[in-house]
Amino acid sequence: MTDTKLLLRALAGETLPTPPVWLMRQAGRYLPEYRATREQAGSFLDLCYNPELAIEVTLQPIRRFGFDAAILFADILLVPQALGCDLKFVQGEGPRLSTITDEAGVDGLAPVEGIHDTLSPVYETVKGLSEALPKETTLIGFAGAPWTVATYMVAGRGTPSQEPARRMIAERPDAFGRLIERVTEATIAYLEKQVEAGAEVVKIFDSWAGSLNWSDYERYCIAPNRQIVEALRARWPHLPIIGFPRGAGTGYEAFAEATGVSAVALDSSVNPAWAAERLQPKLCVQGNLDPLAMVIGGDFLVNETRKIVDGFSGGPFIFNLGHGITPDADPKNVELLLNTIRG
């Protein structure tokens, strides 16, 4: 299907006259149909683990907007839950996990071989989506990168600067290193099962990469991402993989070169001119509209969209946001975005 799927063509290095487009968190609270399905599920985690409803919310933005890709509906914290961490989502506050702060905590995690019992509904969702999506729509699987997932496991929640994890690096480096190793191993196993179930592309979200100093960035962001890419490519040499070291700045270039990803997803702070010069000659780039534009709409959205499309017109490119679409975005602005890109 590579010749008919625009996203796969871009990931293979083809420069297309009209870029493929999808949006991070395109299945989400800005859509009334999503809110209705989530209420039907009872809770966010129940929605993640209900294949029928997870398939439904993944398909909703495809039906409404005709994006070029659908991304599996799940959450990056399902992996630590499968490793034995307690996980819940508090309304209005976000995730809460039991914490891992020392060697004993790492030793108490479940073996990687057992995570599939917990995660099997996710694989069911991938299989169902691979059968239900339109033939022109690419299916993206995903996981959180080890550094980002570990920050939640150490702190028990999201934090502004990931200080608890950075303190653990300084005070208990051996324990933190072992935690990263365990999460990396689990992430590889998780993504392998997604590909086996029908995912055509995988994306690795390192949402907190920008909080690391350079040496720690190389050790805890680049190295684990490279290990994941190498493990997946050992089985599927041509598997397209998108990496997202959000906030990495000029470190995007080292990430792209060292990991071997097929594409890098750029956050909104990255200058398209810099990325077009330094990154795009080597690989596909994805991004990087400010999600606020989806709230503002109008001429602002149109102008910002055209700048990005024009800026990346000289090489392989996938249009997306610099981060996820927010709940206060207007679905009509998504229609305006797509009309602007596709003419």
Q: How many residues does the chain have?
A: 343
Q: Which residues in 79-111 are b (16+ Cβ under 10 Å) and which e?
A: bbbbbbbebeeeeeeebbbebbbbeebbeebbe
Residue type, 57: V
List beta partners, residue 205. Answer: 144, 244
Average pLDDT over residues 19-32: 98
User: Is 233 an active-site residue?
Assistant: no
Residue 116 class from Cβ within 10 Å (0-12 exposed, 13-18 middle, 19+ buried)? middle
Which one of the listed residues 64, 75, 96, 330 is annotated catalytic? 75
Domains of the chain: 6-342 (3.20.20.210)
Tokens, residue 35: 């809110």
Burial class (CB in 10 A: 0-12, 13-18, 19+), 77: buried
Given 35, 38, 167, 219, which residue is catalytic? 38
Mean pLDDT (whole number) for 69-94: 96
* Residue tagged active-site, from 30, 49, 123, 152: 152
Looking at beta carbons, which pairs linking 172-181 to residues 24 or more positions away fall under 8 Å? 172/101, 172/102, 172/103, 174/103, 175/101, 175/102, 175/103, 175/105, 175/106, 176/150, 178/103, 178/106, 179/100, 179/105, 179/106, 179/150, 179/153, 179/154, 180/146, 180/147, 180/150, 180/220, 180/224
The predicted pLDDT at position 290 comes to 98
Q: Is 75 in the active site?
A: yes
Distance between CA atoms of 198 and 130, rounded to whole angstroms? 6
- Which two tokens mark 227? 């290990």
What pLDDT digit, counting tens, does each position of 87-125 carry?
Answer: 999 988 899 999 999 999 999 999 999 999 999 999 999
Q: pTM to 2 decimals?
A: 0.97
CA separation for the pair 252, 243 (Å, rounded): 10
The fraction of the chain above a pLDDT of 90, given in percent, is 98
pLDDT number for residue 92: 84
Asked if residue 227 lies in contact with residue 261, where contact means CB atoms within 8 angstroms, the answer is no
Tokens 């993640």 found at: 48
Residue 318 φ/ψ, nearest 5 degrees: -120, 125
Among 25, 166, 172, 182, the one annotated catalytic: 25
For residue 310, pLDDT beyond 90: yes
Distance CA 336, CA 343 (A): 10
What is the average pLDDT score of the chain? Answer: 97
Does residue 29 carry a catalytic annotation?
A: yes
Do the beta carbons of residue 203 and residue 244 sit within 8 Å? yes
pLDDT at position 1 is 43
Q: What is the pLDDT of residues 326-343, one digit of tens each?
A: 999 999 999 999 999 998
Contact residues for 5 (Cβ-Cβ < 8 A; gap 6+) = 68, 136, 137, 138, 200
Each residue of 174-233: pLDDT tens digit?
999 999 999 999 999 999 999 999 999 999 999 999 999 999 999 999 999 999 999 999
Question: What is the distance between the alpha carbons of residues 270 and 311, in angstroms, rounded to a whole number?
Answer: 12
Amino acid making up residue 224? P
